[in-house]
Structure 1
Amino acid sequence: MQELINLEIPVAQHLQAPIIEIKGLFKAFGKNNPILKGVNLSVHKGEDVVVLGKSGSGKSITIKCIVGLVQADKGEIKVFGQEILDMNTGQLNEIRVRIGFLFQNSALYDSMTVRQNLAFTLQRHAKDLNDEEVEKEIIEVLESVGLAEAIHKMPSELSGGMRKRIALARTLILKPEIILYDEPTTGLDTITSREISELILNIKKKNNTTSIIITHDMACAKLTADRIVILKDGVIHAEGSYTELENSKDEWVRSFFI
């Protein structure tokens, strides 16, 4: 049975339409491998929602459906009030510019320096900027993630934590209103994981971004989440604050917090 806890949402936020709204989302890979079986999720502006679940539960698939990296089989996905599943490629690309996606493996271009990685992204989507403006944006975003000194380095010269920060800088350079984080602290040591988690929190406070954070890292979840939802058997099984779920009567839900 689902344990959907009525989490208190600030009145002003509650009165606003969700910035992301998912209803009845289904996705299967082949007839015998259903992953999502009717996911319902609403996220309001300025909210950081952490999604937990066992491996293979569909956490990453859910956020990939939001930006059209994976095509949903059935359901509704509204972003900024617009139905994603009805969009053509051009319309989808216009929405994607407003959404940042931090990939689990950072996905930097190995043959490009840090500066070139950032410039490529910016020039591709902001073609009206001149060279001086591009350089200014690059320096500012690198300073925001604490890595201005890495501007001329190659990805191979960076530690895992540094690569994650540069990938985040590349996401931030387009000033997205929504950021989707896919396992932002995976493979990082405890100290670096906390630094990335604090950076996520600071980005939200500074830019009022709306985020969905996929993670297995409970320290990251505790630090960043305004609300946590837990996927089980293709649907949202429970949601609430970290403290509420940690003290849940559902033993399976509590197992995430041990």
Structure 2
Amino acid sequence: MIQEKKNIDAPALSYNKASIIEIVDLHKTFGKNEVLKGVNLVVNKGENLVILGKSGSGKSITIKCLVGLVVADKGEIKVFDTDITKLDNNQLNEIRVRIGFLFQNAALYDSMSVRENLGFTLKRHVTDLSPEELEAEILAVLESVGLADAIDKMPSELSGGMRKRIGLARTLILKPEIVLYDEPTTGLDTITSREISELILDIQKKNKTSSIIITHDMACAKHTADRLIILKDGVIHAEGSYEELEKSDDEWVRSFFI
């Protein structure tokens, strides 16, 4: 049993065999800025966990530590029951290939077509595919995000929402067990944001993925979250369902839902 910072909305966390991610006492400092001061969280298999917090609260740093893009100063980070803080780079890469990461800007290669973007990602990790098999995998994942007709387009020809979908397709083509979403609806209009939120749920259901979703978009949070946590001052300040936190006795927590 791991005791959280005392707060009416932040009960003690209980880890169990259903968990796929466990973070214990995570600390990270940049210079004199202590961003994470002992974060404890768990993600259960098949769960969408949404992380909320003001800008600079450490939301993105937390998930970057989770895949080793940022090295934690202290703490245990268990993914698939393996503490990644104790792995060398080759071992870490074996874990990373099972985790999809959707960046804010979709991070597509601008000089490559959609087909080439997806094919490049797949060929880096699966080397024995025939050209026909590669094409079939690309088409299948594009169909799953509703953009099969964009296969020959360049990133510059895509709208913001389409770029997000293609970025997600590139993440899904490796069939990850965990997907990390960093502001998946930022910069999108209301209708497109709703479509991305629906897609996140479709992926959870069809692929049985477990996900962490970093967002400021409360509509996205409400639509996609099985559970939410809120970071404040480098620790988890509150945890619960959308409905529970919306009715919190803590005025600061309620401010997110106004």
TM-score greater than 0.5 by the shorter chain: yes
Classify the secondary structure of the residue corresponding to 1:180. Answer: strand
The yes-or-no answer on 1:23 pairing with 2:24 is: yes
Q: CA deviation at 1:129?
A: 1.2
Q: CA deviation at 1:128?
A: 1.5
Q: Residues 1-12 of structure 1: matches in 2 within 5 Å?
A: 1-5=6-10
Gaps of 5+ in 1: none
Which residue identity does 1:135 align to in structure 2?
A: E
Counterpart in the other structure of 2:164: 164
Report which stretch shifted further, 127-136 or 190-199: 127-136
Counterpart in the other structure of 2:44: 44
Is 2:10–2:236's contact at 8 Å kept on the other side of the alignment? no
Is 1:3–1:239's contact at 8 Å kept on the other side of the alignment? no
Q: CA deviation at 1:125?
A: 0.5
Q: Residues 61-80 of structure 1: matches in 2 within 5 Å?
A: 61-80=61-80
Is 2:9–2:248's contact at 8 Å kept on the other side of the alignment? no
Which residue identity does 1:38 align to in structure 2?
A: G
Looking at structure 2, the residues matched to 19 and 235 of structure 1 have their Cα atoms a distance apart, in angstroms, of 21
Looking at structure 2, the residues matched to 155 and 3 of structure 1 have their Cα atoms a distance apart, in angstroms, of 46
* Residues 220-249 of structure 1, C-alpha deviations (whole Å, 9 max, x = no match): 000000000000000000000000000000
Q: CA deviation at 1:17?
A: 4.1
Counterpart in the other structure of 2:3: none
Looking at structure 2, the residues matched to 18 and 74 of structure 1 have their Cα atoms a distance apart, in angstroms, of 21
Counterpart in the other structure of 1:152: 152
Classify the secondary structure of the residue corresponding to 2:19. Answer: coil
Counterpart in the other structure of 1:178: 178
Looking at structure 1, the residues matched to 22 and 243 of structure 2 have their Cα atoms a distance apart, in angstroms, of 25
Is 1:20–1:43's contact at 8 Å kept on the other side of the alignment? yes
Is 1:52–1:216's contact at 8 Å kept on the other side of the alignment? yes
* Residues 82-101 of structure 1, C-alpha deviations (whole Å, 9 max, x = no match): 01001111001000000000
Gaps of 5+ in 2: 1-5
* Residues 191-239 of structure 1, C-alpha deviations (whole Å, 9 max, x = no match): 0000000000010011110000000000000000000000000000000
* Residues 134-157 of structure 1, C-alpha deviations (whole Å, 9 max, x = no match): 100000000000000000000000
Counterpart in the other structure of 2:219: 219
Looking at structure 2, the residues matched to 248 and 5 of structure 1 have their Cα atoms a distance apart, in angstroms, of 11
Looking at structure 1, the residues matched to 178 and 130 of structure 2 have their Cα atoms a distance apart, in angstroms, of 26
Counterpart in the other structure of 1:135: 135
Is 1:57–1:231's contact at 8 Å kept on the other side of the alignment? yes
Percent identical across equivalent pairs?
A: 75
Is 1:51–1:214's contact at 8 Å kept on the other side of the alignment? yes
Classify the secondary structure of the residue corresponding to 1:4. Answer: coil
Which residue identity does 2:214 align to in structure 1?
A: I
Is 1:2–1:236's contact at 8 Å kept on the other side of the alignment? no
Classify the secondary structure of the residue corresponding to 1:85. Answer: helix
Looking at structure 1, the residues matched to 203 and 11 of structure 2 have their Cα atoms a distance apart, in angstroms, of 27
With over 3 angstroms needed to count, the CA separation of the structure-2 counterparts of 1:92 and 1:140, relative to structure 1, is same
Classify the secondary structure of the residue corresponding to 1:34. Answer: strand
Q: CA deviation at 1:6?
A: 5.3
Looking at structure 2, the residues matched to 15 and 6 of structure 1 have their Cα atoms a distance apart, in angstroms, of 15
Is 1:54–1:232's contact at 8 Å kept on the other side of the alignment? yes
Runs of 4 or more above 2 Å deviation: 1-7, 14-17
The yes-or-no answer on 1:253 pairing with 2:253 is: yes
Counterpart in the other structure of 1:96: 96
Is 1:111–1:154's contact at 8 Å kept on the other side of the alignment? yes
Q: CA deviation at 1:71?
A: 0.6
CA RMSD of aligned residues (A): 1.5
